[in-house]
Amino acid sequence: MARYAVLSDIHGNLQALQSVYGDMKSQDIHGVLLLGDIIDYGMQSNEVVRFIRDEFQYPLLCNLWGNHEKAIMQSDYTRFSSERGIACAKKTASILDNDVKDYINNFLIQEGIFEFELGKMKCLAVHGSLENHYWESIIPEYVCGEYSGYNIVFSGHSHYAHMFTKFYDCVNTIMRNKHAVLFINPGSVGQPRNHHPEAQYTVFDTSTLSVNMRSVAYDIEKAMSHYDESVDNFYRTRLQRGI
């Protein structure tokens, strides 16, 4: 049995990632799940990718493309909801170095979804959801998609942490004909939107099935200092507000 750090939506925020990584060292971590969107919005996408590539001392169980990797690496910005989002993504695309693009293209799971096992538990990691691996979130109040074949579902994209259990009908009298699926979203490391600006991630313990949603202070002012006038000021100031 082991403990796994679950990270999502780092979004080019090196200071947030470094603080989370420091916190992970106190948590007896055995491996890491990266659920996508390691780049964009923040202005240190190159540094974030290199930190993951060169500094991580934990095995990566998965490292997914999110919608931002998909959009930027395929130069397709049509799904972004605002002109400022498109402009920011194009800015990120323009500054990505070749070694970083090579890592994103060759060492991340481009499908944005990955099935694996933790002990006897069948697990799914997906950036978004089964509806759309990149662009649609799993919403606790309305789970759309067939997840009954899994025990644990890890997802990101929404930038909102959640942990809930959904019960599916099955033929198993010992378990009262119910199959439990645990859904975990670790929130966002680099751009949380739950009005709490600290970097957020989750530690999952396979021996107890406990979910420890962690919040870590980081140098927000330093992260903000990397923005320039070519990016809408909204992306800089939102870090202070957690929006």
User: Which pLDDT belongs to residue 228?
Assistant: 94
Q: What's the CA angle centered on 170, arms 168 and 176, to 5 degrees?
A: 90
Are 201 and 6 in contact, with CB atoms under 8 Å apart? yes
Choose among 135, 91, 98: nearest CA to 236: 91
Q: What is the pLDDT of residue 159?
A: 99
Per-residue model confidence (pLDDT) at position 123: 99
User: Residues 66-84: what's their mean pLDDT?
Assistant: 98
Per-residue pLDDT of 186-236, as tens digits, reads 999 999 999 999 999 999 999 999 999 999 999 999 999 999 999 999 999
Q: How far apart are the first and last CA of the chain?
A: 36
The pLDDT score that the predictor gives to residue 170 is 79
- Helix H segments across 25-79? 45-55, 67-73
Q: Which residues pair with 121 in a beta bridge?
A: 118
Q: How confident is the model at residue 8 (pLDDT cuts 50, 70, 90)?
A: very high
Residue type, 113: I
Mean pLDDT of the chain: 97
Using an 8 Å Cβ cutoff, are 41 and 11 in contact? yes
Whole-model pTM: value is 0.97
Q: Residue 106 burial (CB < 10 Å; 0-12/13-18/19+)? A: exposed
Going by the DSSP 8-state scheme, the letter that residue 150 receives in this structure is -
Q: Are 160 and 145 in contact (CB under 8 A)?
A: no
pLDDT above 70 covers what percent of the chain? Answer: 100
Q: What does the pLDDT read at residue 175?
A: 75
Q: Is 239 helix (H, G, I), strand (E, B) or coil?
A: helix
Please check whether residue 59 is in contact with residue 108, taking contact to mean a CB–CB distance below 8 angstroms.
Answer: no
Give pLDDT, residue 177.
Answer: 77
Non-local (6+) Cβ contacts of 186 within 8 A are: 6, 7, 8, 35, 154, 156, 161, 200, 201, 202, 213
What is the set of domains in the chain, with CATH numbers?
A: 3-241 (3.60.21.10)
Q: What is the dihedral of CA 181, 204, 193, 12, to 10 degrees?
A: -120
Instruction: Tell me what pLDDT residue 186 has.
Output: 99
pLDDT the model gives residue 165: 97
Q: State pLDDT tens for residues 119-175.
A: 999 999 999 999 999 999 999 998 988 999 999 999 999 999 999 999 998 777 887
Place 176 in a pLDDT band, splitting at 50, 70 and 90. confident
Query: Looking at residues 60-87, what average pLDDT do you find?
Result: 98
Write the CA distances from 130 to 67, 85, 127, 135, 221, integer angstroms.
Answer: 14, 24, 9, 10, 37
Q: Cα 185 from chain centroid?
A: 8
Query: What tokens were used for 145?
Result: 């998609």
Residue 125 confidence (pLDDT): 99
What distance in Å separates the CA atoms of residue 146 and residue 75, rounded to the nearest whole number?
31
pLDDT reading at 99 higher than 80 = yes
Residue 79 above 80 pLDDT? yes
pLDDT the model gives residue 198: 99
Q: What letter would DSSP give residue 86?
A: H
Q: According to the model, what pLDDT value does residue 1 have?
A: 73
